[in-house]
Amino acid sequence: MKIILPSLILSILLFIAHAYVLSSIVFLFFVFCLFFFRDPGRISVEPGNVLLSPADGKIMEIGERMEKEFINDTMKRISIFMSPADVHVNRAPCEGRIVRTFHRPGEFALAFRKDIDKDNERNYILIEHHNDRLLLVQIAGFLARRIISYVKEGDHVNRGDRVGMIAFGSRVDIYFPNNYETMVELHQKVKAGITPLAQKKGET
């Protein structure tokens, strides 16, 4: 994001120097950065007991997994693939306290492969929501070479708050308790901070 303004300035200077081809190339790069790093406002009208999608993209997996490292329990997991065309800012699915964050180096395999949650570079964000714990996993992809976290342990987040971003194509997994009912389908397009992802059973 720090390269956006300098690229615009460089484009103007090249134009003044009559280096029109280079100026055009740098300007196109500036426009691309504006598009990729866009961060539109999001407001949800969903009830407070609904978990919202933490990422823009497409649902690529819905299932149950044993999460041993941070929760040590069988959880529901939804995986969201974020293409380079999606907004790459990630948002809190619920209100709560950040219990733990942890960054793990790794590979940069294609983000739509199912096994990259064990091999690729990733960042973990554990959220305590009332008596529940939810885990967000930001996973770098083939083009994504940087995961940025906006939160630290002890922070309080509101539902829909920005918690981080991943640059240039990636994936986000969310683990949540089995007493939540999934509200999305496989291959469905979702938007961070807007699309309802799951709702606690027995609550409306």
What is the residue-level pLDDT of the chain in tens, covering all 204 positions?
556 677 777 778 887 888 888 888 888 877 776 667 778 888 888 988 899 999 999 999 999 999 999 999 999 999 999 888 888 899 999 999 999 999 988 565 554 555 555 667 889 999 999 989 999 999 886 555 578 899 999 999 999 999 998 876 689 999 999 999 999 999 999 999 999 999 998 766
Name the domain count of the chain.
2
pLDDT score, position 39: 82
Same domain, 14 and 113: no
Alpha-carbon distance of 8 to 162, in angstroms, equals: 26
Q: What is the pLDDT of residue 118?
A: 65
Claim to verify: residue 105 and residue 170 sit in the same structural domain: yes
Asked whether residue 101 falls in the same domain as residue 177, the answer is yes
- What positions carry a catalytic annotation? 170
> Do residues 25 and 106 both lie within one domain?
no
Q: Are residues 55 and 22 in the same domain?
A: no
Question: DSSP letters of 6-64?
Answer: HHHHHHHHHHHTT-HHHHHHHHHHHHHHHHHT--------S-TTEEEPSSSEEEEEEEE
Same structural domain for residues 171 and 125? Answer: yes
Q: Is residue 43 part of a domain?
A: no
Residues 168/140, Cβ–Cβ less than 8 Å: no
In a domain, 156, yes or no: yes
Domain that holds residue 8: 4-36
Q: What is the C-alpha separation between 38 and 202, in angstroms, rounded? A: 37
Amino acid residing at 45: V
Residue 87 in domain: yes
The answer to whether position 45 is within a domain reads no
The CA distance from 178 to 71, in Å, is: 13
| Residue 69 belongs to a domain | yes
Same domain membership, residue 106 and residue 18:
no
The verdict on 84 and 114 lying in the same domain is yes
CATH code (residue 56): 2.70.70
Kindly state whether residue 88 falls inside one of the protein's structural domains.
Answer: yes
